[in-house]
């Protein structure tokens, strides 16, 4: 058993790291603070065909946080935008993760743009993505935006009705 672990450790230090599971990646991302290492860990599983977009959402949020702490906004934008073109990602839950991630990086304009692009991406909006947009506003320290969004979005998109989570963020 030890020789297998040793050989896999060597494999992960080479230029093209071996693919790892999402669970292992999340564990590593919680411990790593270097943004370059965080990107390498994220890329080691996200590029494999075996990783499900749904299971990798939290790992992406962790990676965005590491990049945001280092103010690597162009890397954040590249990472998030690359997911928009992925045909596997058509669910509102995943796009909501992208919206929240932009908020965590204090890139609210990008979060709003992603919310507005949902039709073009083939994903209908609901209270889930609306709540993600409200959360992005709060994470970006744009507290005054929340009441404004609360008034505008349900009027513009008739299918969005705020729920108790929405009202909790409004308060």
The string of DSSP letters for 90-125 reads --HHHHHHHHHHHHHTT-HHHHHHHHHHTTTTT---
Of residues 11 and 153, more confidence is placed in 153
Which of 144, 147, 149 has the alpha carbon at shortest distance from 130? 149
Task: Convert the pLDDT of each residue in 3-27 to its tens digit.
Answer: 333 333 333 333 344 567 778 888 8
Q: What percent of the chain has pLDDT over 90?
A: 50
The overall pTM is greater than 0.75? yes
How far is the C-alpha of 155 from the C-alpha of 5, rounded, in Å? 57
């Amino acid at each position: 058993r030890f020789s297998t672990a040793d050989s896999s450790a060597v494999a992960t230090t080479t230029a093209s790291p071996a693919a790892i599971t999402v669970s292992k990646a999340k564990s590593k991302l919680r411990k790593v603070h270097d943004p370059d290492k965080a990107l390498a860990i994220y890329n080691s599983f996200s590029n494999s065909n075996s990783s499900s977009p749904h299971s990798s959402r939290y790992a992406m949020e962790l990676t965005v946080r590491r990049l945001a702490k280092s103010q690597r906004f162009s890397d954040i934008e590249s990472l998030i935008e690359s997911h928009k073109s992925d045909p596997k990602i058509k669910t509102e839950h995943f796009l909501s993760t992208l919206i929240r991630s932009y908020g965590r990086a204090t890139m609210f304009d990008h979060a709003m743009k992603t919310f507005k692009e949902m039709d073009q991406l083939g994903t209908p909006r609901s209270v889930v993505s609306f709540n993600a947009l409200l959360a992005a506003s709060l994470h970006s320290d744009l507290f005054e935006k929340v009441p404004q969004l609360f008034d505008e979005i349900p009027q513009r998109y008739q299918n969005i009705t705020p729920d108790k989570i929405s009202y909790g963020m409004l308060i």
